[in-house]
Amino acid sequence: MRLLFYIWWRCFRISNLSHQINEEIRDSVVRLIAEDGTQLGIVSIQEALAAAQERDLDLVKIAPKAQPPVCKIMDYGKFRFEQAKREKEARRNQHVVEVKEIRMTPGIDTHDFEVKQRSASKFLKSGNKVKVSVRFRGRAITHTSIGEQLLLRFSEGLVEIADVEKAPKLEGRNMTLYLAPKNIKHDAK
């Protein structure tokens, strides 16, 4: 019985629009704004609908919580198209920050260390965060100070392009350090 009601309810549900338009507006009086932005005053809903139909446009409720609610006369299809276009542009311009990981051991050689630093530098310059971890195996866990010095030396080598987000911290058999790229825009000022 409950499943049948759920299926019935979903079949007749109208898609939830972000704005109420034309006959969906159930308020008795509204504050009306013309398409050019001028205020036409507080009018009944019938007068507002008549004004919108007279101009061959839609009546859209833009501020439902105001007293009385604010409605604007506009071309709703054009408005939705422009809004979708703005959202698409915003999604295209956004950059997702990833956390790249670099792993080392306490006995890393100098050349390998420099290679890891260069790859971290590439990650930071492309705008990503870097997680540098040192893995202690066997008895090396008794000498965690070596790993901490290694991580501090690593961060000192990247001090021009990176800020230390989280200082070296021992978690189990791994010691981790988080680096974030410096904001270049602030440095230019």
Q: Enumerate the domain spans of the chain.
A: 15-92, 99-188
Apex CA 176: angle with CA 174 and CA 181, to 5°?
A: 160
Distances in Å between the alpha carbon of 123 and those of 48, 50, 96? 57, 60, 13
99-188 fold: Translation Initiation Factor IF3 (3.30.110)
Residue 13 has a pLDDT of 42
H helices within the chain, ranges in order? Answer: 2-11, 45-54, 76-93, 110-125, 144-157, 184-188
pTM for the model stands at 0.50
Residues with Cβ within 8 Å of residue 40, at least 6 apart in sequence: 32, 33, 34, 51
pLDDT beneath 70: ranges in the chain: 1-17, 184-189
Q: Are 47 and 30 in contact (CB under 8 A)?
A: no
Return the C-alpha torsion angle 34, 40, 41, 43, nearest 10: -80
Q: Tell me what pLDDT residue 90 has.
A: 83
Encoded tokens for 26: 């159930």
The CA angle 150-152-154, to the nearest 5 degrees, is 70
Q: What are phi and psi of 107, to 5 degrees?
A: -95, 35
The strands making up 99-104's β-sheet, listed across from edge to edge, are 99-104, 129-135, 174-181, 162-171
Query: What is the reported pLDDT for 135?
Result: 92
Q: Which CATH architecture has domain 15-92?
A: Roll (3.10)
Q: Which pLDDT score is estimated for 4?
A: 47
pLDDT of residue 121: 92
